[in-house]
Amino acid sequence: MRIFLGGSKGLVLYEDEEITQLHSEPLVSAVRPNSGRLVAGTESGSILIYDGNGDVRVAAKDLGRGVQGLAVAPDGAIFAGLIPAAMWVSTDQGETWDELDAFSGVPNADEWHAPWGTPLVSAIATHPKDPGTVFAGVEVGGIYRSRDAGRSWTDLNTPVSDIHSIQICPARPERVYATTGEGGYVSDDDGFTWRPMGTSNKRQYTMGLAAHPSEADRVIISASQGPPPTWGGPDGARCDIYLSTDCGRRFRTVVRNLEGGVHRKALVINSKVPSEIVFGTSTGQLFYSNDGGETFDEEAADLGDLRTIVFA
């Protein structure tokens, strides 16, 4: 297994139990726009690029107070979500960036709020076939959709406005999954209507989410007893991992009561080998499944606060 790990200890390449430190600045997001490049976002608002050999370099600085989300469109455009809540785009593999001013100017942007700090773009999802369709989630402010690659945006009026992650189902692109502070949600009509998932699950503060690339009804999520600021308390995060094979109507608990929580980009499925699923925790544990999430084993520990994972 070869994966990139990003978090409080910076950017790390993990390969067959060997750890290679690539950069020390704390990360919160990362994507691979092509097989040879990794683009990562830092807590300080910088964009880093790693081309597979040599050093990690800084491509942009001061895009905000943190690059919270990154997503790649099918035409290669990279979208970035920031704190304070704003959207940026790169059309040259992350080398240069432009702000999508229309996003910050949506009519109800003045209503965005965040009980734990500043409103942020917490999640971005790009359509697997249509480069113009982009979803962006605001914590706290709801989900917005663009049909023209970010030049204009529509408020989807989601039932919960505390958005943590969004993913368009690769096997059925009209299906959109989201995790929120009040459980998971799914839409089967491009975000026009939503239904709750896993209402009987013990934990409802959902964060991580990964949809299977070919089995449209298979989805796995993480959920804790409370938000990240509470994870360091005496009870820890009490994080569970839930697996569904019927589009979230029913879930099975496959991991229980983790001390560390799982952040929004720290639960991923290998798109090339979908039986492989990895998640990392805020207490530095790395877990691996080779049976599609039915079971997990601890792969490594002491990796810091893991915020983002990308298969290499």
At 291, the amino acid letter reads D
pLDDT in tens, 160-188: 999 999 999 999 999 999 999 999 999 99
- CATH 3.10.150.10 applies to domain 2-311: no
Measure the CA–CA gap between 150 and 265, rounded to whole angstroms.
Answer: 22
| 145: Cβ contacts below 8 Å, ≥ 6 apart | 133, 134, 135, 136, 153, 154, 156, 190, 191
pLDDT in tens, 145-156: 999 999 999 999
Give the confidence band of 35 by pLDDT, cuts at 50, 70, 90. Answer: confident
- Stretch 34-38: mean pLDDT: 92
| Residue carrying the six token digits 């917005």 | 144
Overall pTM > 0.75:
yes
**Domain definitions of the chain by residue range:** 2-311
**Sheet containing 306-311: which strands, arranged edge to edge?**
18-23, 10-15, 2-7, 306-311
**Beta-strand pair 37-42/252-258:** unpaired
pLDDT in tens, 107-145: 899 999 988 789 999 999 999 999 999 999 999 999 999
Sign of the CA dihedral 54, 57, 59, 64?
positive
Q: What angle do CA 61, 62, 68 make, to 5 degrees?
A: 100
